[in-house]
Structure formats: structure tokens, C-alpha cells
Amino acid sequence: MAMSATPATLNVLLSFPSPNQRRLHLGTSNQSSSFLRTHLVNTKSFSRTTMTVAVNASRFENITMAPPDPILGVSEAFKADTHEMKLNLGVGAYRTEDLQPYVLNVVKKAENLMLERGDNKEYLPIEGLAAFNKVTAELLFGTDNQIILQKKKRKSVIDVCVFCSLKVATIQGLSGTGSLRLAAALIERYFPGAKVLISSPTWGNHKNIFNDARVQWSEYRYYDPNTVGLDFNGMIADIKAAPDGSFILLHGCAHNPTGIDPTPEQWEIIADVIQEKNHIPFFDVAYQGFASGSLDTDASSVRLFAARGMELLVAQSYSKNLGLYAERIGAINVVCSTADAATRVKSQLKRLARPMYSNPPVHGARIVANVVGNPELFSEWKDEMEMMAGRIKSVRQKLYSSLCTKEKTGKDWSFILKQIGMFSFTGLNKAQSDNMTNKWHVYMTKDGRISLAGLSSAKCEYLADAIIDSYHNVS
């Protein structure tokens, strides 16, 4: 490992009169000289100027190279591949049948409205755009949900709205990731020592988020490799075994990476156990509308918990369902049992956000507010979302049929049809996933997850060949 050039090393070097002597010294000295070898010996004169270059050796020498991100790094490798059949099934981003990125028509319309109105670029308040916060909570909990209805206090003969607090603290976040990170900061500050339980496996960034926020986490069983399905008993047992008052991170719908969701009956049991143990449910909703094609169906797990009067956290993202990946638009919602607590929680979320990023970006927030707040655009959005979810369902079906046709050993691939959302967990191990990439040019994460949103029906057969070969010929 190269070390920085210390003043002591430099003094020793300066005491040698000729470059050759200095070269000899560096050749026998310890690791600390590797930097100097490159930067000093190759120079003709050992003048003060050269020394200045060395003294300015990076103070960051001790920082090692970080590994590439396991998901975003896949896209980099994909770009460098020139094979005509290559497929990028790593990142969870929707593609058209021609495998091109897709900007929703409603997004373009909302942006045109913004241009026509000449919206300005002033700072938003710390909590974000009010119109966005209102619609995002409505979309999640349902417009008629008690927790988001403003309370009216009766004053004399007429009703006067003197008290307008809600039982949910909603603030705009930097998409799903930023909203989760803000919630993690809240947990770290106000629930010291509390543990977050995450599913095994889960979206890779969950662990990074809680690690960086210095929040302890452990895993609950979720995936059963024998059935390529949900290990429901394991999940329940682990949630029961967690210390009372833990935070239980749940994927609201379209579990990433497995694509396996609990049934409505199983959700009820999960809620029972969480309530018994006085845990706090913490939902990550990154795919509302994208799993089933219906915004309401995909929010049903969250609504089921809220209807029980439970306190809960929900992080939302509009990356997938509105295709606003780069706009970084999402929200964190904290449902409290009193409006007063919600007001205080909101004030603290703002306090946490201020030194992190000051206030959130406006563009994506306006798009969401325009689409969800305008009945015509809202209805068009639902149609487009159904179209996207429908395309994914159809390639899922086609991939399954192709696998069945090519399968010669009787292996049952029907688990692919039981999974939901953007992803399919193929059950391929790391060596098999490597074969998919190295031999077949199919880029995917090493846990065997493929994003069906990056697959076209024209390439289903090819993908099935790759899976069959990797599964049967690589151990």
C-alpha cells in the first residue's frame, strides 16, 4: 500500500546529492517511498519545485478504492459490451419494447403546463412543495382516510377550521432513497439503540442506508430457496423474536429483489404480530401502481396497517411509477396516533433535512402535483401505468412459456409467474449469474435477480436459452 510522503522522508532524500543515490535509497526503503519513486526519481533535477510537488502529495492516500455499486455498476459493464443480443436486466428501470427509456406522456404534459405557467425556480420550504405533500399522502392512504382528513373544531354556530393538523407528518424527500435516509436519521436521533429488521434478501441499498445512519439492523427470513417463495413461518418467527419496539422494514408491494409479496391474509397476520410486539412498521413503497397496475391495490398493505390505528413510517418513490428516476422525488410519511405528535415529528424531520440538503428540488414535485392533482392527467397516468405493468406481465408470461418449452428435465418454472412487479428472482446462484453475463451477455445482479422491465418479447427466447444453460450446465 502506498503511503504519503512525510516531511521526514523528504529530508532524508534531500540529503543525497545525486539522483542515483536517491534512486538507490528509494529502492531499498519501505512502502512509503512508492509515491516518491513515481514523482521524484523520474525528474531530472531535485529542485525545490519538485519538492513542492511531493509535499503536495495527496492527503487522501489512505483512502482505498470503493467497490463498484452492485446494481449501478452492472449498467457500466453493459455499456462497454458490443454484442447484439446483450441485455441489461440489472437496473430496475422501465424500457419500451425497443428497450429504450420511456418518458410518460403525462409527464411531458405536466412539464408543458409548468412552462406555460412560467413557474419560477425559487427555493422550496424545507418540507417541500405543499401541493405535492398533500397529493402524495392522499395517493398513499386514500383521499378519504381519516389520518389525512383535516379536523374541524366547532366554534359557536358555524364550523370554523381553527385546527388543521393531520395525523401524518409528510415531507418531500430525495426520492425513495433520500426519504428512507431521512427516516433512518429520525430513528437514530429519537430511538437510540432501536433495531431495524430488514428482509433477507432485500434491496441492496437498505443496508447502506442504515449503516450510514448508524442504525442497527438485522435480518428476518423472507425468501425460501426450496420453494422460490415466501418463508412466511420464518418471517413471523423472526419478527416475534425481535426486541419489542423494533422497526420492521416491509416492502409495500413488489418486493425487491424477489418479486414475492405476502397474500392479503398473510399481511393481516404480519400486522397482528407487529402489533403484539409493539413494533413500528416501516414501509418502503417504491412501486405503487407498478406491481398490479392499480395504485389502490398496491397501497393496500399500508392502508391495512393504517386502518388498525397503528403508528407507522412510509417512504415513497416516484422513480418507477412516473418514470421520474433522475428527478429524485419521493416522500417520507410518519403516521402518529395524535395530530400533535405528527406536528412535532414533522418539525424534527425538517430539522434533520436542513443540514443535509436544505430543501428539496422543485421540478419533480410539480410534475407529481400536476399529474395527481389534475383529474384528466391522473386518469391518463393510470392508463399509462397499466400499459407499463401490462408489458412487464406479458414478458413474464412469455419468458415462462419459453422456459417450459426448452426445459428437458421437468424443472418447474412456475414460480416466475407467482412473482410480481419489475423483478424476477430466478434462483440462479452467483456462478450461474456470472455465466449469464460472461457467456450470454445478460447483465444482472449476482443474486440471480433480473429486471423484466429491461426485457423485450423479442428477446424472451434468447433469455430462456441463457437461463436454461446457466441453470443446468453451471453448478
Ligand X SMILES: Cc1ncc(COP(=O)(O)O)c(C=O)c1O
Residue 319 makes contact with ligand X by CB under 6 A: yes
Judged by beta carbon, residue 195 or residue 255, the one nearer ligand X is: 255
What is the closest distance, in whole angstroms, from the C-beta atom of residue 261 to ligand X in the complex? 12
Q: Which string of b and e fits 69-96 if b means at least 16 CB within 10 Å? A: eebeebeeebeeeeeeebbbbbbbbbbe
- Count the helices and strands in the chain (H runs, E runs): 19, 15
Residue 451 makes contact with ligand X by CB under 6 A: no
Q: Which string of b and e fits 287-302 if b means at least 16 CB within 10 Å? A: bbbbbbbebeebbbbb
- Of 194, 184, 193, 170, nearest to 336 by C-alpha is 170
Q: Using CA atoms of 141, 178, 334, 329 in order, give the dihedral in degrees to the nearest 10.
A: -30
Residue 280's SS3 state is strand
Binding segment toward ligand X, per CB under 6 A, in 117-125, 171-179, 396-404, 466-474: 171-179
Binding segment toward ligand X, per CB under 6 A, in 33-41, 169-177, 214-222, 449-457: 169-177
Judged by beta carbon, residue 5 or residue 91, the one nearer ligand X is: 91
Residue 403 makes contact with ligand X by CB under 6 A: no
* Catalytic residue selected from 284, 346, 413, 459: 284
Helices (H), 198-336: 205-212, 232-241, 264-276, 295-298, 300-307
By beta-carbon distance, which residue lies closest to ligand X?
176
Residue 203 makes contact with ligand X by CB under 6 A: yes
**Which x/- pattern, by CB under 6 A, does the window 260-299 give for ligand X?**
------------------------x-x-------------
**Which x/- pattern, by CB under 6 A, does the window 228-267 give for ligand X?**
-----------------------x----x-----------
Judged by beta carbon, residue 238 or residue 284, the one nearer ligand X is: 284
* Catalytic residue selected from 86, 195, 203, 261: 203
* Catalytic residue selected from 195, 320, 398, 459: 320
Residue 433 makes contact with ligand X by CB under 6 A: no
Rounded distance between C-alpha atoms, residue 265 and residue 253, angstroms: 14
Q: What angle do CA 49, 53, 58 make, to 5 degrees?
A: 165
The strand pair at 168-174 and 158-160 is best described as: unpaired
Site for ligand X, residues 37 to 96, rule: CB under 6 A: 92
Classify the C-alpha dihedral 330-334-338-343 as positive or negative.
Answer: negative
Among 88, 170, 177, 456, binds ligand X (CB under 6 A): 177
Answer whether 40's CB lies under 8 Å from 66's CB.
Answer: no
Residue 326's SS3 state is helix
Residue 331 makes contact with ligand X by CB under 6 A: no
Binding segment toward ligand X, per CB under 6 A, in 9-17, 24-32, 174-182, 460-468: 174-182
Judged by beta carbon, residue 176 or residue 448, the one nearer ligand X is: 176
Site for ligand X, residues 3 to 32, rule: CB under 6 A: none
Residues shown for the chain: 475
Binding segment toward ligand X, per CB under 6 A, in 135-143, 170-178, 229-237, 346-354: 170-178
Rounded distance between C-alpha atoms, residue 5 and residue 415, angstroms: 58
Among 170, 258, 317, 333, binds ligand X (CB under 6 A): 317
Judged by beta carbon, residue 445 or residue 470, the one nearer ligand X is: 445
The strand pair at 195-200 and 247-251 is best described as: parallel
Residues touching ligand X: how many (CB under 6 A)?
13
Q: What amino acid occupies position 335?
A: V
The strand pair at 280-285 and 247-251 is best described as: parallel
List beta partners, residue 197: 218, 248
**320 flagged as catalytic:** yes
What is the closest distance, in whole angstroms, from the C-beta atom of residue 449 to ligand X in the complex? 10
CA 265 to chain centre: 27
CA distances from 336 to 114, 147, 262, 467 (A): 34, 9, 25, 47
- In the chain, the largest separation of any two C-alpha atoms, in whole Å, equals 99
**267 flagged as catalytic:** no
**284 flagged as catalytic:** yes
Binding segment toward ligand X, per CB under 6 A, in 121-129, 175-183, 220-228, 230-238: 175-183
Residue 445 makes contact with ligand X by CB under 6 A: no
Judged by beta carbon, residue 9 or residue 199, the one nearer ligand X is: 199
Judged by beta carbon, residue 93 or residue 404, the one nearer ligand X is: 93
Residue 181 makes contact with ligand X by CB under 6 A: no
Active-site residues: which are they?
203, 284, 320
- Sites of contact with ligand X (CB under 6 A): 92, 175-177, 203, 251, 256, 284, 286, 317, 319, 325, 330
